[in-house]
Amino acid sequence: GEQIFVGQYLVERLVQLGVTKMFGVPGDFNLGFLDFVEDHPKIDWVGNCNELNAAYAADGYARVKETSLGVVLTTFGVGELSAINGIAGAFSEHVPVLHIVGVPSTSQQKNKPMLHHTLGDGRFDAYYRAAEQVTISAASLESKDTAAAQIDRILTDCLVMARPVYLMLPTDLAYERIPSYRLKTPINSNPPDNDPDVEQFALDEIVKLVQEADEDVIILADACAIRHGVKQEIAELVKRTGFPVYAAPMGKTAVDESYERYGGIYVGSISHPDIKEKVESAKLILSIGALKSDFNTGNFTYHIPASRTIELHSDHIRVQFAMFPGIGMKRLLPKLTTRLQPFHEGAKQISVPPFVFPVPQEDNDIISQSWLWPRMGQFFRPKDIIVAETGTSSFGVLEVPFPRGAVFVSQILWGSIGWTVGSTLGAALAGVDLGYKRTILFIGDGSLQLTVQELSVMMRSGVKPIIFVLNNKGYTIERYLHGMERKYNDISNWKWTQLLDTLGGQEGKNCLSYLVRNKSELSTLLDDPTFAAADKIQLVEMLMDPRDAPNALKRQAELSGKTNRYVAELPSGVGEAV
Amino acid sequence: GEQIFVGQYLVERLVQLGVTKMFGVPGDFNLGFLDFVEDHPKIDWVGNCNELNAAYAADGYARVKETSLGVVLTTFGVGELSAINGIAGAFSEHVPVLHIVGVPSTSQQKNKPMLHHTLGDGRFDAYYRAAEQVTISAASLESKDTAAAQIDRILTDCLVMARPVYLMLPTDLAYERIPSYRLKTPINSNPPDNDPDVEQFALDEIVKLVQEADEDVIILADACAIRHGVKQEIAELVKRTGFPVYAAPMGKTAVDESYERYGGIYVGSISHPDIKEKVESAKLILSIGALKSDFNTGNFTYHIPASRTIELHSDHIRVQFAMFPGIGMKRLLPKLTTRLQPFHEGAKQISVPPFVFPVPQEDNDIISQSWLWPRMGQFFRPKDIIVAETGTSSFGVLEVPFPRGAVFVSQILWGSIGWTVGSTLGAALAGVDLGYKRTILFIGDGSLQLTVQELSVMMRSGVKPIIFVLNNKGYTIERYLHGMERKYNDISNWKWTQLLDTLGGQEGKNCLSYLVRNKSELSTLLDDPTFAAADKIQLVEMLMDPRDAPNALKRQAELSGKTNRYVAELPSGVGEAV
Ligand SMILES: Cc1ncc(C[n+]2csc(CCOP(=O)(O)OP(=O)(O)O)c2C)c(N)n1
Ligand SMILES: Cc1ncc(C[n+]2csc(CCOP(=O)(O)OP(=O)(O)O)c2C)c(N)n1
Ligand SMILES: [Mg+2]
Ligand SMILES: [Mg+2]
């Protein structure tokens, strides 16, 4: 039959799965494989400045390109370990990313010479062991006979479990010939079937609870609803049942925020009081894709007992206290919609306070956190991709309603600062494929310093995000957690508006940079249609107060202060976990 | 007795060991500990732009500050994993680095709430497991009763084994009070004693072999001679015996390169032919601290049989085929010097070709690799710290003789590009402590893009390196390995001379940037005494040919091409390890 090189097989599989970009950095152990990538007409190599940024980009790409995956290619040891934090973040936040590592040949791995990029002690499996800690599945290709099956296995795991996987590709194996017939069978990325009896039983239970709750039910969408691909199913559910729907921070944009029955963001105790009241007083909560991390739950302050909760997850559901392992939400949800549709009349009666965030009138011209975010809300448009970095940005943007079809990209559980720079690159490239028009990034000055070089790759690859840099002279979020006046929370002030030009742009030609010092300047810029059209990459430096933070962050910081023990004076017991 | 907080105990230990700088990035799990660091009068916090750069800086600091160690502080998960490649490099290259990680409190580690920076699945030990792969010793502090002993244990391991160690410091434990009396006993960083009988036996064997070799002996110094602190012992040995001495690339500057009996760099087949001849024809080779990696040995082309070799290592020696485990070179060397001193007369007869690298006359004004490096040799001064990035730089600078007391900093085994930027920062800061005047960095345009932000920290911390950027439009070293014309070896061209000003400097005031397009411009600059005085941080962009490489690199690439299989056409068997 027809033959194909193992390296080509891998590239073909990725193309079949809709991957159009591969991120990474070349290194001598992956150069041979890179030839296949560069030569393939349907996939582009995006050479990143460094590997961590590349991993971040693959993650951002996967988040926006919801049915596909992100791919990052690095070289043995030095490259892969540089990327590992990005991979761990994808694990934590359920993002399907394939990490391909070009490694020494199979015979070198057996003979273990002291090659460059080794630890010098003959351990060729050390990086694999490290990778295992932060991936859901891993393969070290060892023979051409099993290579294709191994590749297929990890791709399936990656997509079905929506988590990163790791692949060691030896230099020699990339150029071994294998039969190509397997390519005719597509990778199965569907979740496994639910046991029909168990599913039926669980559905009956849920319907009974809804009845007992007198239809006083709300739906709460969270991270895994997005990551495990049930946005469409939820849209159907809420439309056909009419139950009010809210979202956790990590579930923002799982449901269209312009939808009339959508009530906004629920974050336990730090929620807007109206939202908190509505959610916590409902007799029954149908939670979809929950990921109950500290920052996603107002530091574990959900006041909702399990007896009033139904939780749907990708691979199990929980009805009050009863677990149903193996029952996944993707297949359950359409059936649930059918069963709950009859409650529509009652559901409609439940009022949903409108999710709005009016721009406050303030008697000064400082760009305050309280003014900035609702003002940005007016700037957003349908189908914007909105990326917010950990810091005042991720807290501030949460309560701003997003227009129809807008996508929220943030890393609330993993929270690795600098992530959004790579992630914006990946998200914007995926956005181009899917017809999103603008990508808008909010990032703190501190965070941008970690990964700034990737601005250069944005320019090279032709994406045109709008980048708002919050210049507040350092790590404001940390000042709120500890050390308000400490020097370690200060950073160097850069000439932010020179960055694009320095890193490969031509200011005024293919990039534009702005400094805005006050509300008026920022408003004028936002109202400028040329700016808003985002036809060039643009960076806006916003001068802000180092001691200003969004309310949600202030409240979160108070709660976190109680769980982290920073000073000796705290009475013992305060350092306990919730 | 007197009490002290665990966090303070740790800081005091570091100060005792001569640590004056701590590198890293703040994060909420390390902020409490950071207060102790910021408040201590004898240690400075160097806040880095990101964690990988911080780890690189700690590594560079430790290399120059030979009897001390480098310290990097990061936060749980996101911070520590970002740094892990830097730690792995320190492992590979035998550099004592302590990685302190601020982690959740002991009770949180027991209860395992879904905190930010966790993997979301309750595994609080995953990062520890990853760290174990690349450190020689690790401790997760769990109780105040054992904290001090644990700290002492890993510090001892770090120094004695000259390799990185890992320490998890929970937020609550940093603020637990413990007795301070242990601080009165200094950390023992001496290598363990040698068994006197075995040592005596081995010395007799060595002396016998030297006699049998008719005193036709050469000494070969390598990486571990520097890292395990026997530079002084070697200087004594070579002075008092008069045997010729050479160095492997990683051993460059283990022996003063201005020493009259020093013959230059031996790299197997890719050595200068005279050197190769001298070393390989000697009847006996006394190898000190060898680390026989591919790039350190001309791709394993030492033509020296074990029967003619004596190898001294930090924890064992090998005499021909006989191993002597537990016999370390540090204690053996002074005795060996005494025993070999009588051979001085004979040793003196052996000629040593002078180690020189004259500047070639070339009939063009292009900054060629063949001209650049010897020309730089004229610029170097005694006690310069000379840092060379992996790429054409590390190959090019090797054969340049360094003046008295100059120190060579490079990463020939691990070879993680971008490393020199952080490493230069750390090396320069250590240099200030030790009275080195200048730090000079050679770095490729490709490599600088990985870690460029650390230029900003150089300016903030007041060091004044001279940074030569080889602008050859991409990854030239890789072009020689594979893909000479491939796009993946191209990079974006930055406005290199704007970098310092953009990243926090004031061009003309505290920083100076230059573009040199040809030999004449570069020579003029090098001859300018103000430039050479290095009173400000300076960056020199040098325009060079993308297809030009030092000869040593060309020869290495030929050899590597034979071991890496990049294309299918190669006959099978060629991909074998040496
Ligand atoms: C990789 C990584 N390092 C360190 C941290 C700890 N950290 C969390 S937020 C933050 C400061 C962010 O500052 P900035 O981006 O300026 O945001 P601001 O709150 O000032 O808007 C730091 C250092 C982290 N989360 N990730
Ligand atoms: C972290 C890391 N990523 C990738 C590589 C693979 N690599 C080795 S050298 C090199 C290119 C270096 O180019 P440059 O710095 O411009 O040096 P030149 O040879 O052009 O002087 C690359 C990408 C590596 N060694 N380390
Ligand atoms: Mg900030
Ligand atoms: Mg280059």
> Residue B223 and residue B203: Cα distance in Å, rounded?
23
Residues, beta carbon < 5 Å, ion ligand 3: A 444-446, 472, 476
Tokens of A17: 């799965």
Mean pLDDT in residue range B408-417? 98
Q: Of B230, B226, B261, B231, give the one whose Cα is nearest residue B246.
A: B261
Cα B298 to middle of ligand 1, angstroms: 44
Annotated catalytic residue within B24, B70, B474, B505: B474
pLDDT at A125: 98
B565 pLDDT above the threshold of 60: no
Please identify among residues 126-145 of chain B the ones whose CB lies closer than 8 Å to any CB of chain A: 126-127, 129-130, 133-134
Annotated catalytic residue within B152, B384, B389, B445: B445
pLDDT at B559: 84
A574 pLDDT above the threshold of 90: no
- Partner residue opposite A45 with nearest CB, options B107, B123, B488: B488
Q: What is the ipTM of this complex?
A: 0.97
Q: Let me know if A508 is a catalytic residue.
A: no
End-to-end CA distance of chain A: 61
* A423-481 per-position pLDDT tens digit: 999 999 999 999 999 999 999 999 999 999 999 999 999 999 999 999 999 999 999 99
Cβ distance A575 to B129 less than 8 Å, yes or no, reads no
Q: Let me know if B117 is a catalytic residue.
A: yes
The set of residues, in sequence order, having a beta carbon less than 8 Å from that of B425 and lying 6+ positions away, is: B46, B48, B53, B56, B57, B60, B454, B457, B458, B461, B463
> Residue B251 and residue B224: Cα distance in Å, rounded?
8
Mean pLDDT in residue range B82-91? 98
Q: How confident is the model at residue B560 (pLDDT cuts 50, 70, 90)?
A: confident
Angle at A227 between CA A225 and CA A232, to 5 degrees: 50
pLDDT at B568: 52
* B183-241 per-position pLDDT tens digit: 999 999 999 999 999 999 999 999 999 999 999 999 999 999 999 999 999 999 999 99
pLDDT at B576: 35
For residues B526-547, b (16+ Cβ closer than 10 Å) or e, as one string? beeeebeebebbbbbbbbbebe
* Beta strands B70-75 and A245-247, pairing class: unpaired
Q: Which ligand is nearest to the CA of B83?
A: 1
* A549-565 per-position pLDDT tens digit: 999 999 988 887 766 65
> Residue B53 and residue B72: Cα distance in Å, rounded?
10
Q: How confident is the model at residue B70 (pLDDT cuts 50, 70, 90)?
A: very high
Tokens of A225: 């609803």
Q: What is the CA radius of gyration of chain A?
A: 24
Q: How confident is the model at residue B566 (pLDDT cuts 50, 70, 90)?
A: low
* A138-182 per-position pLDDT tens digit: 999 999 999 999 999 999 999 999 999 999 999 999 999 999 999
Quick one: DSSP state of residue B327? -
Task: Give the residue from chain B lying closest to A503, CA to CA.
Answer: B494
Mean pLDDT in residue range A14-20? 98
Counting one residue from chain A and one from chain B, the pairs whose CB atoms sit within 8 A come to 337
B569 pLDDT above the threshold of 50: no
A178-181 long-range contacts, CB within 8 A, separation 24+: A178/A3, A178/A4, A178/A5, A178/A6, A178/A9, A178/A144, A178/A145, A178/A147, A178/A148, A179/A1, A179/A2, A179/A3, A179/A4, A180/A1, A180/A2, A180/A3, A180/A4, A180/A9, A180/A12, A181/A1, A181/A2
Mean pLDDT in residue range A310-318? 98
pLDDT at A567: 58
Residues of chain A positioned with their CB less than 8 A from the CB of B81: 84-85, 88, 134
Mean pLDDT in residue range B448-470? 98
Element (H, E) at B469: strand B466-471
* A49-94 per-position pLDDT tens digit: 999 999 999 999 999 999 999 999 999 999 999 999 999 999 999 9
A575 pLDDT above the threshold of 50: no
A572 pLDDT above the threshold of 50: no
B314 phi/psi in degrees, rounded to 5: -70, -30
Residues of chain B positioned with their CB less than 8 A from the CB of A28: 478, 481-482, 560, 564
> Residue B323 and residue B343: Cα distance in Å, rounded?
25
Nearest Cα of chain B lies from the Cα of A217 at a distance, in angstroms, of 26
Quick one: DSSP state of residue B557? H
* B7-48 per-position pLDDT tens digit: 999 999 999 999 999 999 999 999 999 999 999 999 999 999
Cβ distance B88 to A104 less than 8 Å, yes or no, reads no
Task: Give the residue from chain B lying closest to A6, CA to CA.
Answer: B568
Q: Of A511, A459, A509, A512, give the one whose Cα is nearest residue A47.
A: A459
pLDDT at A558: 86
pLDDT at B558: 86
B571 pLDDT above the threshold of 50: no
For residues A260-274, b (16+ Cβ closer than 10 Å) or e, as one string? ebbbbbbbbbbbbee
Average pLDDT, chain B: 96
* B363-402 per-position pLDDT tens digit: 999 999 999 999 999 999 999 999 999 999 999 999 999 9
> Residue A223 and residue B114: Cα distance in Å, rounded?
14
Instruction: Select the more confidently predicted residue: A447 or B567.
Output: A447
> Residue A12 and residue A41: Cα distance in Å, rounded?
11
Do the beta carbons of residue A419 and residue A451 sit within 8 Å?
Answer: yes
* pTM score of the predicted model: 0.97
Percent of chain B with pLDDT strictly greater than 70? 97
* Type of residue numbered A103: V
* A275-294 per-position pLDDT tens digit: 999 999 999 999 999 999 99
> Residue A538 and residue A514: Cα distance in Å, rounded?
8
Cβ distance A498 to B499 less than 8 Å, yes or no, reads no
Q: Of B388, B441, B411, B447, give the one whose Cα is nearest residue B295.
A: B411
- State the best of A132, A445, A453 to mutate against chain B, taking most chain B CBs within 10 Å: A453
A577 pLDDT above the threshold of 60: no
The set of residues, in sequence order, having a beta carbon less than 8 Å from that of B211 and lying 6+ positions away, is: none
A573 pLDDT above the threshold of 80: no
Q: Let me know if B551 is a catalytic residue.
A: no
A3 phi/psi in degrees, rounded to 5: -115, 155
